[in-house]
Chains A and B, each alone.
Chain A
Amino acid sequence: MSAALLIDFGSTYTKLRAVDLGRARLIGTGQGPSTVATDITVGLKAALQDLEQRIGELPAFRHRLASSSAGGGLRMVTVGLVRELTAEAARQAALGAGARLVGTFAYEITGADTKKLTELAPDIILLAGGTDGGNRDVLIANARTLAGSSLQCPIIVAGNRVAADDVQAILDGAGKPVMVTENVMPEFGELNIEPAREAIRQVFIDRIVHAKGIDRALEMFDQVLMPTPAAVLEGARLLAEGCRGHDGLGPLLVVDVGGATTDIHSVCSGEPTQAGAVRRGLPEPHVKRTVEGDLGMRHNATSILEAAGIEAIAADAGLSAARLATLVQRAHEEIEWLPQSSEEHAVDHALARAAVRLAVRRHAGTTETVYTVTGPVSVQRGKDLGDVGSVIGTGGALAYSTKPGEILAMALADPKEPLSLRPANARLLLDREYLLYACGLLAAVEPKAALTLALQHIRPLGQEEQHGQSSIL
């Protein structure tokens, strides 16, 4: 049997997925603690033992690929010129590369900004600013400021091409690790984030993997390919677009409800589905990821209450506001807490529903009617998700839920919010075995097997609920 091992060095667990490449089926899963802070091999060995207990003697793996979100994830800071333009393009590039965005700066970095930036201790800084041939002064000034700071992390320059040589010389001269790539916005209103994404991935592989001590386990696997969120994004891209000779599912949305954040990935053009609508604002990436730092089932459970309103969630859970507040406080404090009673299940259910509704609402574009002398015009900002055909749920909150369909349905368009451009007629699917990251990793070496694996295991919810858990385990 030809098999692959896909590893996720997570922040809490080290997770394994063993895949039969010939049949494109999951053989089994294994889990160990996350031990990146001490010795990463300990957690990996424990996970391998766990896998062996479940499936018997381990096969000789043809591929052993890993992703990582351990050690706080890939902490990034982005710097741009105008907040809505190059600063936003830089943000999109970092998010698309699977980074955990800890800070974003625009215009010239001040002394106070530099202090804050140093305290944020990023793994990588993405420095943008100016279209090609456009403003160069701010980019150069920011390079000088970074050169004069105590920061030692790699700096990726993706700004005005005309200023790039000067910026490189300034940062080189100060002994900062620097890498120059294409501008994230070469022309006004043109988004070019793929080169910056690739540069971030390269720096991640070349430097960050070592800096975080992940390469200590290198003899136990082949390579760390990317941060885990990037692997999920690659999985989503593969599932939507398919691979040579094999169709994917078409435009789709992935909803990942986690303990600290809720991530939304969309793979679709986002073009208006409404005839005659005019798009405004920056063009949107075809493959887009947003991260909601205030919507997490444990670390940020209390901020879900703040964002959605305690009364609304209490009503959804069928509890009093006071009782809900008490239970949510506990979820927030004990991040390993698992719901036991029906009351506690109701709280988790309502929190997840609120997180999905808010996160997809923020990810989706909006439409508004502007009245002009020639009549009303629809103006669209952001992506129209109207033609998204599949909404895929992943992450613990959905995988372990008894009613995942009710949570995932919150991603769909709501007649009460007609201005929010959410999926109108999408079917709901569940990644119950947490395979999307594994498919994203496997796509780098065996795209056809990765696609078949995803199509076989990520199942429509109605079907799954009828037949029970349809896995070969």
Chain B
Amino acid sequence: MNAAAPHSPRTLVTGVIGSDTHIVGNRILSMALEKAGYKVVTLGALTPAAAFVKSAVETAADGIMISSLYGQGELDCRGFRELCIEAGLADILIYVGGNLVVGKQPWGEVEHRFLDMGFDRAFPPGTRTDEIITALDRDFKARADATRSPGTAKP
């Protein structure tokens, strides 16, 4: 996104999607991301899907980090990638994490479901912030390498 200013920090939008008020985990994540050198746009609790996308457009964000703790995440996140494509953010990195579904379901299945929905990564409850930052660094590096040598890197 920020092609003209490659040295500036990458921008990430964070928030808790839908009618969910559980803000603590998302706030811890936002602080950790800032500490890791990212510019963080925090939308907080009770954030509609469209608000994530609109703020990402305005701030030219490089990634969107969605939290959901109340079990309705699957419903709230449905069509999120399509919303991004519609807004001209087809390639934006999107992560989701938290208690994403109702009841006890094997994590592998849940993760698969979210990756199918177009999320780049999904994280189960109890994920440490370091893990997320490592994944982000890796994904951004892979993208940067892909743009530097087009044709050689597989998507």
Report which A residues bind B (CB closer than 8 A).
Answer: 81-82, 84-86, 130-131, 133-136, 162, 185, 187-189, 278, 280, 370-374, 377, 379
Contact = CB atoms under 8 A, between A and B. Distances in A.
A92 to B, nearest CB: 15
B14 to A, nearest CB: 11
B55 interface: yes
B116 interface: no
Between A84, A136, A372, the greatest number of chain B beta carbons within 10 A of the residue's beta carbon is seen for: A372
B20 A372 contact: yes
B64 interface: no
B78 interface: no
A85 B20 contact: no
B46 A373 contact: no
Contact of B60 (A135, A373, A377): A135
A134 B46 contact: no
Contacts of B55: 82, 85, 188-189
B60 A372 contact: no
B58 interface: yes
A188 B41 contact: yes
A82 B11 contact: no
B42 to A, nearest CB: 9
Given A84-B54, A162-B5, A135 B59 contact: yes
29 contacts: A81-B58, A82-B58, A84-B54, A85-B54, A85-B58, A130-B58, A130-B59, A130-B60, A131-B58, A133-B2, A133-B5, A133-B39, A133-B60, A134-B11, A134-B59, A134-B61, A135-B1, A135-B59, A136-B4, A188-B13, A188-B55, A188-B59, A371-B19, A372-B19, A372-B21, A372-B70, A373-B20, A373-B71, A374-B21
B86 to A, nearest CB: 12
A379 B20 CA distance: 12
Contacts, number: 65
B150 to A, nearest CB: 20
Contacts of A136: 4, 60
Chain B binding surface, main DSSP class: loop
Contacts of B13: 188
Given A134-B61, A135-B58, A185-B58, 17 more contacts: A81-B57, A84-B54, A133-B39, A134-B58, A134-B60, A135-B57, A162-B4, A188-B13, A188-B55, A189-B41, A189-B55, A370-B19, A371-B19, A372-B46, A374-B21, A374-B22, A377-B21
Contacts of A130: 58-60
Interface residues of B, number: 24
B70 A131 contact: no
A139 to B, nearest CB: 11
Given A278-B45, A372-B21, A131 B59 contact: yes
Contacts of A131: 58-59
Nearest to B4: A136
Interface string B1-26: 11011001001010000011110000
Contacts of B59: 130-131, 133-135, 188
Contact of B46 (A82, A162, A278): A278
Interface string B40-76: 0100011000000011011111000000001100000
B21 A82 contact: no
Contacts of B21: 372, 374, 377
B35 to A, nearest CB: 18
Contacts of A86: 58
B130 to A, nearest CB: 26
A374 B70 CA distance: 9
Given A134-B59, A134-B60, A82 B54 contact: yes
Nearest to B2: A133
Between A130, A131, A162, the greatest number of chain B beta carbons within 10 A of the residue's beta carbon is seen for: A131
Nearest to A129: B58
B60 to A, nearest CB: 4
B58 A377 contact: no
Contact of A379 (B11, B41, B46, B61): B46
Contacts of B11: 133-134
Interface string B83-99: 00000000000000000
Contacts of A278: 45-46
B5 to A, nearest CB: 7
A280 B51 CA distance: 10
- Listed from nearest, the 6 A-B pairs whose CB atoms lie closest are A134-B59, A135-B60, A188-B41, A134-B60, A85-B58, A373-B70
Contacts of A162: 4-5
Contacts of A379: 46
Interface in B94-108: none
A309 B151 CA distance: 63
Nearest to B22: A374
Contacts of B39: 133
A188 B58 contact: yes
A183 to B, nearest CB: 11
A313 B139 CA distance: 62
A162 to B, nearest CB: 7
Nearest to A187: B41
Contacts of A133: 2, 5, 8, 11, 39, 59-60
A156 B54 CA distance: 24
Contacts of A373: 20, 70-71
A381 to B, nearest CB: 12
A84 B20 CA distance: 22
